Amino acid sequence: MPATLEIRATKRAKMVADGTAHKAYVDSILDYSTKCLNRDRERRNQDKERRDRNKVRQDYYRKLGRIVKALRSRYFRMLNRCINPNDDSYPYYGGRGIEVCFKSFDEFLDYVINELQVVDIDGLDIDRIDNNGNYEPGNIRFVTHKVNCQNKRPYKKRKSVGD
């Protein structure tokens, strides 16, 4: 049974709840009602803030998952061209003595996210700063494909057959 409120001219009210009559001052009842409304409003605001924080957290982990997936494929392609003689790029990497100095993918991931602070790697290639150096901390960076193409070994002129 919902509570009812009778207001008389004497600023006293009779509130009936659960079949029991209670007398109280109107001001205290209105204060109590205001407190309840404010408390409910605060709870709704807190719930909204909590949902917003959860959404931000979910978006962060979703984005982090995409980054981890992309970095995993780049790491294993990098590793493959350095250690697998059957890879088409092996002569240009592993065949020249270039090695991957990261012991595991987790170490590589930790370095890229925490040291290089790469946030988004869409459209970026992994690049060695010193082209004759290994894939190691301090010698890798993420650059656009155009910049990566500019970082090449010097072209050696071949001698012609007639010379």
- Mean pLDDT, residues 39-68: 79
Share the mean pLDDT of the chain: 77
For 5-23, how does the pLDDT look when each residue is reduced to its tens digit (9 = 90+)?
Answer: 554 444 555 555 555 555 5
pLDDT tens, position by position, 64-104 = 788 888 889 989 999 999 999 999 999 999 999 999 999 99
Q: What ranges do the domains of the chain cover?
A: 72-150
- pLDDT score of 13: 53
What gap in Å lies between CA 26 and CA 32, rounded to an integer? Answer: 10
Q: How many CB atoms lie within 10 A of CB 111?
A: 16
Residues 6+ apart with CB under 8 A from 72: 105, 109
| pLDDT for position 9 | 46
Query: What distance lies between CA 151 and its chain's CA centroid?
Result: 30
H helix intervals, the chain? 26-83, 105-110, 145-150
Specify the pairing of strand 140-144 against strand 20-25: unpaired
Residue 62 has pLDDT above 80, yes or no: no
